Structure 1
Amino acid sequence: MQSRTVNPQKENVKITETNLTSVVEFVLLGFSEIPRLHWFLFGTFSVIYLVILLGNGIIILIMRAESTLQTPMYFFISNFSFLEIRYVSVTLPRMLVDLWTQKGSISILACAAQMCFFLILGATECFLLAVMAYDHYVAICNPLHYPLVMSHEVCVRLGVGSWVIGMPVQVGQTCQIFSLPFCESNQINHFFCDIPNAQFDETVVYMFASLLITIPFMLILGSCSRMISTVLKLPSSTGRTKAFSTCSSHLIVVILFYGSVTVIVLHNCKPKSNQYDGTDKLLSLFYTILTPMLNPVICSLPNKDVSEALRKFLPKLIAIPDT
């Protein structure tokens, strides 16, 4: 098969007679359409990243240090905080580097790795939210058997299962996408590797994505329905208030995460001409940055036990040792 002369402006793309391109590297366009705001965005996202690391990191430290928080609910909250740190670290540091250098080139291997980890952690978040909903369901609907049902061994299995259950599917999808040729351009109109220009069956990809999103969501919906039904039957208004406060913060996180992901999936199901017009980047910022940043506030700080532990822990954290 003979190759034609490469255009200087496409030095990273080898064009063959089949009109397909053998991509050597991609170019993440990111926020290149607003170059005047690059430094403002760099400063803003740097602060947000530090807030996410500190907020979720402190939550993890508190729940490991305080014996009163060694319960299944806080075990899953600390897992979720750790997940949020990993989740945002897959995309945000790379975006900060691109804003600093004002270059968006990324090798195909790095792009595949970023996409694979992003998909795996996204699936983990879906299943971990479902596990947390199940924990709330057992605590509210079957409180007498809660210590037996949610034993430490069970919690560890549920936690590990949430982390690994989506790995085979997402690794397989990534390998499928990057084993196929790419067409037209090596430019990606996003701030992380989301591949719109690969020649693959998008129906299969969206089918697996929908399953990984829908199954946990249905489990969450079923758990919430049973919890609401049980709470409404409680004779004490104090008991109802406490029960609602237990699951309300979790529901807010679920709505934020699943709402934005669902909108993106529906948006990407539109014809090609309507895709990647900037809406994806805005929605992706919402669930990749905003949710991890708000997680400590939504999930933990309104809780009285966590607030009390935080008041005890922070003075120890910032205390200056005597010289």
Structure 2
Amino acid sequence: MTSRAPAKTLVLGTRGSKLALVQAETVAGRLRGRGFSVEVRPIKTTAEERPEESLAQIDQRDLFTRQLDEALLRGEIDLAVHSLKDIPTEVPEGIDLVAVPERHEPSDVLVSAERYTLETLPEGALVATSSLRRRAQLLNRRPDLVVVEIRGNVDTRVRKVIVEGHAEAAVLAGAGLARIGHEAPRTTLPHDAVLPAVGQGALAVAMRGDHPLAEKVRELLNDPAAERATRAERAMLGALEGGCRVPVGGYALAEGRKVRLRGRVVSIDGALLYEAEGSGEDPEAVGRGVARDLSEQGAEVVLGEVRRARSGA
């Protein structure tokens, strides 16, 4: 594969949602501040082409990234900005994740007109989420809740709950609401109750590995602490062969030379919960160690059931 000559204008690919565009403009602004000209180019992904279909039913690991990856490999864009939690643990050959900028606080939040907490939600309340991870952890703490599917961008999901009353509450990523300045009434879900998705709150910048500006972009955008922490989380998820849409939570912090990781696997009905922690200097080794601990506890049974259900076995 031949290297592309440095372009006068960097073309930055992104999904077309409001949140994705805000994230892309944040990265573009930092590059412009260092003298680059940047064109932001929205690209429609599978998730946007099938807006009403359940994410679990689509069951495609590169649901949010495939079209952007293809545009990178064809040389139509120079870089792509993703929410890191949407990127499969195995990226296509020829593409590198060159930078993980500073991470937002990754917790999930409960959005409701009444500002319910998990404890104060009424008995049997309807809670909306499209995430198996969120569903499983909610039911582990509150098996009386009725968890219902919801799709759409952030504004759509908030409207469905706050204005239209489709459910008493919805669970969303707090970082997404914060990035677009959304003032939806919400309360933070503590990690003891709902552990975030791997990579939640972090962005990732993807480029072709042979792009002549890859190292420069990394130098300008990468936050070493965020990168080390998310490497541990993604190594855990990869070792569990979990993909992006399974009931796995994980959150790591880089503390000096060490990374400390907490991982959790919960059955979809919430009945079984497995949790493990680990720390060390090698992020990938920490992630694999936590995954091994979870598997030895029995987490593989839960993940195997999810895979069999999706394959129709």
* TM-score, normalised with respect to structure 2: 0.29
* TM-score, normalised with respect to structure 1: 0.29
Looking at secondary structure, tell me which structure has more strand per residue: 2
Looking at secondary structure, tell me which structure has more helix per residue: 1
Q: Which has the higher contact order (CA 8 A, sep 6+)?
A: 1
Of structures 1 and 2, the larger Rg is shown by: 1
